[in-house]
Chains A and B, each alone.
Chain A
């Protein structure tokens, strides 16, 4: 089915989110919609899906003008959407989720589960998905949940499929598998709209690329375009994609971790007998597929995990079992993986968030009283230094974009005297322009002689930043290898295969 958008315009108050957008997607084509956060991609797709009503323009399917009053109409017309945040009910099985919203019933109003099961099986087989119709969605890995979303769309005979930032939650392997699925769907004649801001994925899978910026289409590109070309189209200026960094000037060993083991709240061994060290002026990147113990390892380092055995020492000081407060006071800076959940208080202002982890003593607190004047000066200074785009320091952090939120976290952590800097997924959900900035700051931190740990599931990021790479698999260290280790070797290590040549297998 051919999808055509003509002159779609959508405004929110003074903000023009979509300004006369034209877009054509042919059947059997993967059309990439590329743009930074806030460029208007999601708005456009929500218009297409009937969630928003356009202020102007029309939607055509196979040259017939459509009017969608809601997602129901869009679905009926053959448009399916795989949202970034899955619209699944965790306590339902796959089959129940797939039938949700258009349940078929048998006599007596009984749900026709066997039919739903059969449908799931049929679609799974057609595309080679390995999905059990009776599995509880809650218990499935993220990548499989996404397949359930795809099955859901396909079960309603979607001929146009929209993927809204589908890879944001996926590991590199799952991403590759998703790409494969997208190609299969394309070959079966589906028109696919793929929304993303990750350049590598675009070049890998797209047949055509439309770049959006500030609510407008700013250009079309071929998949053969270079990353730099795409990035500059997206951001509107030239973007440095590779991080400039000198050879590290290594100091003595600062962080020493010995035989660290973490048991989680349900008694599973999530970090298993891990030993490593980080020297001053060095970036150790921890790579690995999401959920192989990296999160728990970093949390153990800052005292957030309750059941930890082994030893952690920093500059000769014992940190094992110390409270978060003590560890922060020892000069450990921490950028948590999920900034909204763990890094920021959304309802607090920028200024308040900047003092969040120094709420007990100087310089923000004197005699149990907040030093508001000092805090305001500090916040203004940091907002300027870290280029946080905000109307004021009194703006609530929850209102900022992902990139700006992350800059606030970074500003807070890097403005202390650090003896160790731990950044988990520092650029997740962050726009290209901010990624550049954040990477630069991380390297600067290293160059000032601070040992740095970066946890990332993005190989691009690992390769860009790391002086050494530690790969984790199922809670263990597969190996610690030099920063220039080729991707394919890293990929194998992430799947649990120990490196053949150098490195220390744990």
Chain B
């Protein structure tokens, strides 16, 4: 309050002559660049990238091992090792270029419009992954593990589908109502877990897993019951087609499958970014996620936050289910409509470090794996399972940051912590 307080506490110029580099680093606030570099090097972003690289590397080894030519040439490896090397190179480069051509740009097709189609496929596959990943990631930030993506997607898909084929509304409004209804369905389904956690302390992992089963069998039953979800006149457990009025438009024209759902995923990413980084709700979410005790003492209603977080998480996962039925599979769906996205979303959220844009990028990467995996198998005969193994390896490496750090000899975050300790250095300057 008085004039004796310096305005900027951290920057009293060292009284003596310029101290050695190490000391000055501790006294002056580190520059933005240093901070950013450290954050990248010791933080998690670089780990994610390196984990992907490592996984691709291990994937390459597996591709080589499973390749027939490599196996043949390996028999006479010691006579002509060159053959094996060439075969390995061909199999790996062939596989990964097929992956590229299947997911980003296909050079074999004539013209840009046809060549770029794989990228739009990637984005189509990425749409539900991003939406569901955002849902799982947001729950992570509040300290909750939402494994109920499957159930939430199924409920959301059913509600949106039911509105989509059972109702008659004008163009546009029909779609909006279907989207909102589906998201509401997902939100409520996840909200059950949030409410049970808040009220009874039931662990959300167990509750959401059980809700997956309940949703699956509930939807299966409704699909087999005429008058509910089953298409009239059919005996298959499948719904009728979604009405034209409710189907997502193809945003790049009819030759591409990319639909309006991708725009919704972008909007969802922006909204989640805003919630987490700019809104007071997100502030409370993160406080609860990092330290629920301190949050409670600071007057934050922790239980409400659990419920709100699960509602929003469920709505986002629900959006993934909605995008599936209104965008990707519009001809009627069955109980496999979730396509495992609810679980892939966990991977996406982990790879994206639970940050909205990280999840967005991770979702696109996984979309690319999905789109490219098929063409890899078709073009090069590489088993599609390899792609799944690569996906799993990514998560494995992310879960073990010290392993990745050791392989690439990165500084560990602990060493940085030690360096920021000294108040000590400052007192030297003050003396």
Instruction: Check A346 against B280 for contact (C-beta < 8 Å).
Output: no
Is the Cβ of B415 less than 8 Å from the Cβ of A13? yes
A388, B9: Cβ atoms closer than 8 Å: yes
**A328 close to B26 (CB less than 8 A):** no
CB neighbours (8 Å) of A334 from chain B are: 297
For B297, B301, B418, B422, the residue with the greatest tally of chain A CB atoms inside 10 Å of its CB is B297
In chain A between 120 and 134, which residues have their CB closer than 8 angstroms to a CB of chain B?
Answer: none
| Beta-carbon contact of B278 and A348 below 8 Å | no
A404 nearest in chain B by CB position? B423
Residue of B nearest to A401 (CB): B423
- Are the C-beta atoms of B286 and A348 separated by less than 8 Å? yes
Instruction: List B contacts of A356 (CB < 8 A).
Output: 287, 294-295, 298
One of A201-209, A276-284, A379-387, A493-501 at the interface: A379-387
**A242 on the B face (CB < 8 A):** no
User: Interface extent on A, as a size class?
Assistant: 35 or more
CB-contacts of A348-362 with B (<8 A): 348, 352, 355-357, 359-360
B423: chain A residues at CB < 8 Å are 38, 389, 401, 404
Q: A344 on the interface (CB 8 Å rule)?
A: yes
Contact B421 A38 (CB under 8 A): yes
CB distance from B101 to the nearest CB of A (A): 42
CA distance in complex: A406, B294 (Å): 14
A368 and B279 within 8 A (CB) = yes
**Which B395-431 residues have a C-beta within 8 angstroms of A?**
415, 417-428, 431
- Report how far A156 CA is from B64 CA in the complex, Å: 56
Q: Is A342 located at the chain interface by the 8 A CB criterion?
A: yes
Contacts of B421 in A (CB 8 A): 15, 38, 399, 401
For the A-B complex, the count of residue pairs with Cβ-Cβ distances under 8 Å equals 138
A248 to B418, CA, bound (A): 44
B30 interface contact, C-beta 8 A = yes
Contacts of A360 in B (CB 8 A): 280, 284, 299
Specify which chain A residues have a CB less than 8 angstroms from the CB of B30 in the assembled complex: 391-392
Could you tell me the distance between the alpha carbons of A341 and B293 in the complex, rounded to whole angstroms? 6
Q: Is A181 an interface residue when CB atoms closer than 8 A count as contact?
A: no
Complex Cα–Cα for A389 and B12 (A): 11
Question: Which B residues lie within 8 Å of A372 (CB)?
Answer: 278
**A309 within 8 A of partner (CB):** no
Proximity string of chain A (22-48) to chain B, C-beta cutoff 8 Å, 1 when within and 0 when not: 000000000000000011000000000
Q: Is B8 an interface residue (CB 8 A)?
A: yes
In contact, B290 and A345 (Cβ under 8 angstroms): yes
Question: Closest CB of chain B to A377's CB: distance in Å?
Answer: 11
Instruction: Indicate if B296 sits at the interface (CB-CB under 8 A).
Output: yes
Q: In the complex, which residue of chain B has the Cβ closest to the Cβ of A13?
A: B419
24 residue pairs from A and B, CB less than 8 Å apart? A12-B418, A15-B418, A38-B422, A304-B297, A323-B301, A324-B296, A327-B299, A342-B297, A343-B297, A346-B291, A348-B286, A356-B287, A356-B298, A357-B299, A359-B283, A359-B300, A360-B280, A370-B278, A370-B279, A384-B7, A387-B9, A391-B30, A392-B29, A399-B417
